[in-house]
Amino acid sequence: MDYEELSMIEKTILKLTYCKGIGLIGKWKVVKFYEKFGAENFFAEDIIQIAQMNQYKGMFRDSFRAINEDWLQETLQNQQYVTWLSPNYPAELLELPYPPLVIFYAGNLNLLEYPRLAFVGARQASNYSIQVIRKLLPTIVEKQFVIVSGLARGVDRMSHETAIRYGGLTIGVVGCGLDICYPREVLPLFGEMKKNHLVLSEYPQGTAIKKHHFPMRNRIIAGLSKATCVIEAKERSGSLITAQLALDYGRDVFAIPGEILTGHSDGCHRLIQDGAKCVVSVQDILEELPDF
């Protein structure tokens, strides 16, 4: 996007993206205030009041005042992004309670025009996950679904790589700036996807990975996708967070059953008991998505 063409509220939110001490809910309060009352400009004290900030006020004031428009424009010059007001912002994300206000991206944004399925699962995936992915994804890719995952090791990586291997398209959602690859072992895949597929982040360049970024990333994976398929997930795992978010957003959830001795698939079995569809063939997925 061209910074000069942005509205005042978009420029304000981009500035707040770099400010310390204010979270996403506070930023949305600023947006809602603007939609209701309008404003020609926002000052630090205005935002503190509108966002109902009780903590980190001093930190916020200092960072807000340190960021001027020239610095912001120059910093954003080499980054691609869309805001919640952009025509090519994914409409599905606007259905979330607090969608990302800005999405930074590298690659082909047109992939957001295709139907999308998320595949998530264990980071310490076994050979069973590899076999399941190789069984399911070729047909799904052939049906022109874009595969969405989190560019982590294990099931995420296998899903991205298998989609590419069979001539498909894939989207990765990460929890840090797009100039940082985490984990480092996916660096070749990360580079390939930024060039020929699509990588998205809620965070600008220079943002390091933090623990609370993962559930934030997971909500984007779930929100972007028509359905989420979970492979080899334990009882407590990030994959189950993604699946629960998908259910909360009214999306379909598919779970792959596994063996019962090690506990590696206990999360999948719990999802099935709670109403997720048990998948034993690719047809079990495709028959639930007739509109595509």
C-alpha distances out from residue 225 to 110, 139, 264, 280, Å: 15, 17, 24, 21
Q: How confident is the model at residue 2 (pLDDT cuts 50, 70, 90)?
A: confident
> Which residue's structure tokens are 């967070």?
241
Q: What is the arithmetic mean of pLDDT over 78-98?
A: 96
Q: What is the arithmetic mean of pLDDT over 226-242?
A: 92
126 plus 60 within the same structural domain: no
124 plus 23 within the same structural domain: no
Considering the domain boundaries, does residue 83 fall inside one?
no
Q: Provide the 8-state DSSP code for 114.
A: S
47 plus 130 within the same structural domain: no
230 plus 146 within the same structural domain: yes
* Cα 254 → chain centroid: 19
Give pLDDT, residue 62.
96
Number of domains in the chain: 2
Using CA atoms, how far apart are residues 12 and 105, in angstroms rounded to an integer?
20
Q: Which two tokens stand for residue 18?
A: 């770099």
Give pLDDT, residue 168.
98
Give pLDDT, residue 4.
85
- The predicted-structure confidence for 30-67, as pLDDT tens digits, reads as follows 999 999 999 888 999 999 999 999 999 999 999 999 99
Considering the domain boundaries, does residue 93 fall inside one?
no
Contact 185, 97 (CB under 8 A): no
Give pLDDT, residue 125.
87
Q: What does R_g of the chain's alpha carbons equal in angstroms?
A: 20
- The predicted-structure confidence for 17-27, as pLDDT tens digits, reads as follows 999 999 999 99
57 plus 114 within the same structural domain: no
Using CA atoms, how far apart are residues 173 and 225, in angstroms rounded to an integer?
12
Give pLDDT, residue 291.
61
- The predicted-structure confidence for 98-124, as pLDDT tens digits, reads as follows 999 999 999 999 999 999 999 999 998
User: What CATH code is carried by the domain that includes residue 195?
Assistant: 3.40.50.450
Considering the domain boundaries, does residue 47 fall inside one?
yes
Considering the domain boundaries, does residue 102 fall inside one?
no
Q: Residue 90 pLDDT > 90, yes or no?
A: yes
- Helix spans in 38-101 (H): 44-50, 57-66, 69-76
Structural domain range at position 129: 109-286
Give pLDDT, residue 221.
98
65 plus 116 within the same structural domain: no
Calculate the average pLDDT of the chain.
95
Considering the domain boundaries, does residue 253 fall inside one?
yes
Considering the domain boundaries, does residue 208 fall inside one?
yes
Contact 162, 131 (CB under 8 A): no
Give the residue among 171, 212, 215 at the shortest CA–CA distance from 194.
171
Percent of the chain with pLDDT over 70: 99
Contact 96, 223 (CB under 8 A): yes
Percent of the chain with pLDDT over 90: 89
Using CA atoms, how far apart are residues 184 and 196, in angstroms rounded to an integer?
19
Contact 181, 190 (CB under 8 A): yes
Considering the domain boundaries, does residue 90 fall inside one?
no
Q: Name 80's bridge partners.
A: 105
Contact 198, 109 (CB under 8 A): yes
Using CA atoms, how far apart are residues 133 and 119, in angstroms rounded to an integer?
9
225 plus 270 within the same structural domain: yes
Q: Residue 292 pLDDT > 70, yes or no?
A: no
Q: Provide the 8-state DSSP code for 207.
A: P
Considering the domain boundaries, does residue 291 fall inside one?
no
- The predicted-structure confidence for 254-277, as pLDDT tens digits, reads as follows 999 998 888 889 999 999 999 999
Give pLDDT, residue 40.
83
Contact 128, 138 (CB under 8 A): no
